């Protein structure tokens, strides 16, 4: 079964809008695991507008499934990750002021940079994943820089899915096949939701993990967090 990692950034966004500690980010992470999530994802940004670096440090001893930290590998991010030592780090090529991630790495242009960063994380025993588009040459480039996994950037799939699911998923199946043939394990994330997740899973059954935050937390406003997590897990069952 493909693992579900819940991105809790939006919980921190809600907390930060008012100040104080409501909702409690640490408690929500623990609750997500108790409700069935097989991982917790956070994406700290330099301005700490949602998840704070201090949140990451507090979460590490609490997360008992898989802890995944996403972000751009700035000096401060690298220090945080190598200190906290999550199970997985996902490298995202977004600038500090980005609202959300919007593209994958150019693994050819950034080959030396990525090799150095990935080597550093792997020396600390941290599995690495690279946020990537569907271009075969860039996926093959990801294998050459030594990453363990790639995470397919699925926003283009989500946009096209309502009109033409088969056309939407085709480049992702092809990309997933390239990744598998290159010896890379596969994650996916960005704009996956209750409508489009199962179709992605059925077409790429060897997906190791999906990371879902915005849609899942939005659904939880209507269905409740425990029920929502179970609804997403049902979409991922073989």
Q: Is the peptide bond before 143 cis (omega within 30 degrees of 0)?
A: no
Residues with active-site annotation: 43, 70, 190
Nearby residues of 51 by Cβ (< 8 Å), 6 or more positions away: 8, 9, 12, 25, 42, 43, 44, 45
Tell the residue number behind the tokens 């283009």, with chain if given. 156
Report how far apart, in Å, the C-alpha atoms of 198 and of each of 18, 22, 28, 195 are.
35, 33, 25, 7
Contact 109, 149 (CB under 8 A): no
Q: What would the DSSP string read from start to end of 47-79?
A: T-SSS-HHHHHHHTTT--S-EEEEE---HHHHH
* Helix, strand or coil, per DSSP, at residue 207: coil
> Which candidate, 218, 213, 217, 223, places its Cα nearest to that of 4?
213
């Amino acid at each position: 079964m493909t693992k579900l990692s819940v991105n809790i950034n939006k919980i921190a966004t809600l907390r930060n809008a008012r100040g104080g500690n409501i909702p409690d980010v640490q408690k929500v992470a623990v609750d997500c695991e108790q409700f069935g999530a097989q991982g917790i994802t956070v994406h700290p940004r330099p301005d700490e507008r949602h998840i704070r670096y201090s949140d990451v440090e507090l979460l590490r001893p609490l997360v008992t499934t898989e802890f995944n930290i996403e972000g751009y590998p700035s000096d401060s991010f690298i220090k945080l990750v190598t200190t906290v030592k999550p199970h997985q780090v996902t490298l995202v090529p977004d600038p500090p002021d980005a609202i959300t991630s919007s593209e994958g790495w150019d693994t050819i242009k950034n080959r030396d940079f990525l090799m150095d960063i990935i080597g550093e994380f792997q020396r600390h025993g941290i599995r690495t994943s690279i946020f990537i588009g569907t271009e075969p040459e860039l996926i093959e480039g990801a294998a050459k820089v030594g990453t363990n996994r790639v995470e397919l950037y699925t926003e283009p799939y989500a946009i096209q899915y309502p009109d033409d699911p088969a056309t939407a998923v085709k480049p992702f199946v092809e990309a997933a096949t390239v990744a598998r043939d290159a010896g890379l394990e596969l994650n996916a994330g960005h704009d996956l939701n209750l409508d489009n997740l199962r179709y992605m899973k059925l077409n790429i059954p060897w997906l190791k993990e999906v990371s879902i935050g915005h849609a899942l937390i939005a659904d939880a406003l209507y269905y409740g967090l425990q029920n929502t997590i179970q609804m997403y897990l049902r979409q991922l069952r073989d």
